[in-house]
Amino acid sequence: MAQEIDNSLLNRIAEALERLAPARAARPELDGYSAFVWHASPPELEAVPRVNRVDLSLLRGIDLTRDILIENTERFARGLPANNALLWGARGMGKSSLVKAAHHAINEASGGVLKLVEIHREDIESLPVLMNIVRKNPDFRFIVFCDDLSFDADDTSYKSLKAALDGGIEGRPSNMIFYATSNRRHLLPRDMIENERSTAINPSEAVQEKVSLSDRFGLWLGFHNCSQDEFLAMIEGYAKHYGLQVDADTLRAGAIEWQATRGSRSGRVAWQYIQDLAGRLGQRLEG
């Protein structure tokens, strides 16, 4: 009888411990998909059947940064040394679009070996778990991508990212690279950096601690507001690509009026105009 009680108690303890233990990451099916979204809880790579992206040829006004990122991504896909990349700068100028377009172009050329994994800003602390999955799948190359990455004054999770990018004792997996986009060059708000400078016992060391995160990125690719000529070139490129039935003068006049009402020029504003124009023309944006 005592033995039965002991066994029952041990079973209950084992069940309780199993419930308390962190969930194991599900083994991902990588062969059939090129892009995934990482979920931290429970840890899982969710396949993305259709990626929201634009053709690389439609990204205008960013020729130099495009070529640098493409070359870096090509080297990585071939198993050669490559750098983590931070794409920073003006809103709506194609930072995330370039990452997705570059991945697609290089993945097509490399025979599907390159996987794009999006990690949400709030899941950064789970990056070591994702890195462990990456390390166990050496037949593939992984771009881990975080869109609109930044940290607030009371946020300490940037330390987790610093440690993950350095790789800890094991090092960053050789088949993984980290790409991020941000409106901030140092990923932290300027007033946070200035506050550290003014209040810390050793201002220089405090500031260096905050801005050193961006030093983990070997490539800093800046995006700046486009000129009117570049804006119109984006519009014309979209109109041609989607076969919009509108004459050139009407297209340009409408584009100039559209950007004036928005008070800005960017790739995002150009796309919004194209969507509005296509809707008024009764044409679908396909292809």
- Nearest residue to 175 via CA among 30, 68, 41, 33: 30
| 212-227 pLDDT, tens digit each | 777 788 999 999 989 9
Average pLDDT, the chain: 84
- Is residue 147 predicted with pLDDT exceeding 90? yes
Whether 214 contacts 186, CB under 8 Å: yes
Contact 274, 242 (CB under 8 A): yes
- The angle formed by the CA atoms of residues 169, 131 and 221, to the nearest 5 degrees, is 95
E strand residue ranges, 50-198? 85-89, 114-119, 141-146, 176-182
Stretch 258-280: mean pLDDT, rounded? 94
Question: Distance (Å, rounded) from C-alpha 42 to C-alpha 215?
Answer: 31
Sheet bearing 114-119, strands edge to edge: 44-47, 35-39, 114-119, 141-146, 176-182, 85-89, 219-223
Q: What is the predicted pLDDT for the residue at 154?
A: 67
Band of residue 76 on the pLDDT scale cut at 50, 70, 90: very high
Identify which of 205, 128, 214, 207 has the alpha carbon closest to the alpha carbon of residue 163: 128
Q: pTM here?
A: 0.81
pLDDT attached to residue 10? 63
Q: Please tell me the predicted confidence (pLDDT) of residue 83.
A: 94
Return the percentage of the chain with pLDDT > 90, whole number.
Answer: 59
pLDDT band, very low/low/confident/very high, at 202 (cuts 50, 70, 90): very low
Give which of 87, 82, 62 is closest to 72, Cα–Cα.
Answer: 82
Gap between the Cα atoms of 74 and 274, Å rounded? 31
Taking phi over 0 as left and psi of -120 to 50 as alpha, with beta for the rest, 171 belongs to left
Cβ(184)–Cβ(218) under 8 Å? no
Crossing angle for the helix pair 267-281 and 228-241, nearest 10 degrees?
Answer: 40
SS3 193: helix
Q: Which residues is 179 bridged to in the sheet?
A: 85, 145
Tens of pLDDT, residue by residue over 95-123, are 999 999 999 999 999 999 999 999 998 89
